[in-house]
Amino acid sequence: MAERNGAGDGTGVNAAAQAIMAVVLVGGLAAAAWVTRDSFDTKAADPKPAVCPAVAEAGTAGRSEADETGAQLCRALNRPDLPTLLGTPRDMVRNASGKGGEFTHADGRKTVTPEAEVGLEAHSVKLSATSGELEIADMARLLGPSVERTTVLGHPAVLYSDRTIALTFRFDGQKSTAGQGGIARRLIVAKGPGDGGGWFEVVVWRQDDRTPDDGALFRVAEQVLPAAPGWAAG
């Protein structure tokens, strides 16, 4: 079960945290972009739930270990009951993807950052992993007073908000636009019951301007994270 404490459901983080998050989380606003649904029709005549990429042997056909981990994260996230966990049981998964990622620090060190994303009609959900050296307690301080300290399945965690980017694609010859979107709720959870050794981040945002339900975010985290590669049960 999740235990929450602290205060604030702010929609941003302080400047120092923003700079660090851009390095260690390799995400932020662009990673939580959403597309306005009025721009085009996404409904297929006979829609079928999307599936994750196959997990092939690492190192074959140009695939890296990080790519394989991204595919595994996708499999963990793309659960049959994901729409129910989000509180929208009639939703169908429109797309599912997993990929590797890597950030090179100034001193040459590399941080591997695989991620997966599942898109539904009402929500999008992202799951990423990092081997970052910062502890959850450090992240809580860096994110500022709006962050909430909490736990997920006995693991230290922090909860905070961020803004998405709204992308509008036009097919009538007019210029596509980008602007401020809705609120994304983000949950950073330590991989193990102790603080340190990397973490996962679960992000939920809606395909409209409404703030996601925190209960849905925690339900997803509690069901998905135990199946994610690298999770250490307490």
The partner residues of 102 in beta bridges, in order of sequence, read 112
Q: What percent of the chain has pLDDT over 90?
A: 41
Lowest mean pLDDT among 5-9, 35-39, 51-55, 145-149: 35-39
User: Are the CB atoms for 93 and 120 separated by under 8 Å?
Assistant: yes
Q: Higher pLDDT residue, 151 or 61? A: 151
Average pLDDT of span 204-215? 89
Q: How many other C-beta atoms lie within 10 A of the C-beta of residue 13? A: 22
Structure tokens at 21: 């998050």
Amino acid 3: pLDDT: 54
pLDDT band at 60 (very low <50, low <70, confident <90, very high): low
Amino acid 189: pLDDT: 96
Average pLDDT of span 175-203? 83
* Helix, strand, coil % over all residues of the chain, rounded to 5: 25, 30, 45
Q: What is the pTM of this model?
A: 0.75
Structure tokens at 128: 């990423």
| 126-170 pLDDT per residue, tens | 999 988 777 899 888 888 888 999 999 999 999 999 866 555 555
Strands of the chain, DSSP E:
2-6, 34-35, 93-99, 102-104, 110-112, 115-120, 123-130, 148-152, 155-168, 177-190, 199-206
CA 108/CA 94 separation, integer angstroms: 38
Q: Does residue 20 carry a pLDDT above 60?
A: no
Q: Does residue 62 carry a pLDDT above 60?
A: no
